[in-house]
């Protein structure tokens, strides 16, 4: 706040800060312009609207402090896209993680000698679904670690895995995931 109003005294800064922090203040109306560029987000505040909100005369607001820039990353997951500020991490894909866990549980059942039909009945799903979910058990340990940490390729969702052939060979998976 001190950069925005360089000649402000402590009371003016405190008053302006409390007005801006007040839930009734419409912060979006103070944004004049947003520019998304390659790996950057630039946000410019409106000098006039910012001056009205905290009762600071617009001519006392430093115009060079109205523009903020930050590095960003665009991450896609299925149909969802998110802008992440540098250092932010997408929330983990819990559906994908659950399918990996189910795949391993079903693989344990298969190796214990249970039939696909028995496994399907035990999970209340069709046999075809058991066969699909089993594929998740063959993801490479590196990819599983990336998924658990939220750093998998942005296209890699449970839906994508179900619709695409994923090789069992981990080197081939790595090549596929780098090229897709």
Residues 78 and 134 in one domain: no
Residue pair 25/59 in contact by the 8 Å Cβ criterion? no
Residues 16 and 52 in one domain: yes
Which pLDDT belongs to residue 48?
74
- pTM score: 0.58
Domain boundary among 63, 85, 107: 85
Residue 7: DSSP 8-state: T
| Domain extent at residue 130 | 94-179
Question: What is the full per-residue pLDDT of the chain (180 aa) written as tens digits?
Answer: 445 544 445 555 566 556 556 645 566 777 888 888 888 888 888 877 665 555 566 677 777 777 888 888 877 665 667 777 777 766 789 999 999 999 999 999 999 999 999 999 999 999 999 999 999 999 999 999 999 988 888 788 999 999 999 999 999 999 998 887
Residues 66 and 143 in one domain: no
Residues 174 and 99 in one domain: yes
Q: What is the distance between the terminal CA atoms of the chain, rounded to a whole angstrom?
A: 45
Which pLDDT belongs to residue 29?
76
- Going by C-alpha positions, the residue among 104, 110, 99 that lies closest to residue 156 is 99
Q: Tell me, yes or no, whether 5 lies in a domain.
A: no
């Amino acid at each position: 706040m001190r950069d925005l109003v360089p000649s402000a005294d402590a009371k003016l800064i405190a008053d302006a800060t409390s007005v801006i922090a007040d839930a009734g203040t419409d912060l979006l109306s103070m944004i004049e312009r947003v520019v998304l560029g390659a790996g950057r987000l630039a946000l410019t505040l409106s000098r006039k609207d910012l001056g009205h909100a905290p009762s600071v005369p617009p001519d006392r607001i430093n115009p060079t402090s109205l523009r903020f820039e930050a590095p960003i990353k665009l991450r896609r997951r299925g149909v969802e896209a998110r802008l992440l500020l540098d250092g932010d991490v997408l929330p983990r894909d819990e559906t994908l993680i659950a399918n990996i866990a189910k795949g391993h549980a079903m693989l344990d059942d298969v190796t214990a000698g249970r039939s696909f039909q028995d496994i399907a009945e035990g999970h209340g799903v069709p046999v075809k679904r058991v066969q699909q979910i089993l594929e998740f058990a063959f993801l490479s340990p590196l990819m599983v670690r990336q998924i658990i940490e939220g750093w998998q390729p942005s296209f890699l969702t449970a839906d994508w895995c179900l619709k695409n052939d994923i090789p069992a060979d981990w080197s081939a998976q790595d090549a596929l995931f780098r090229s897709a």
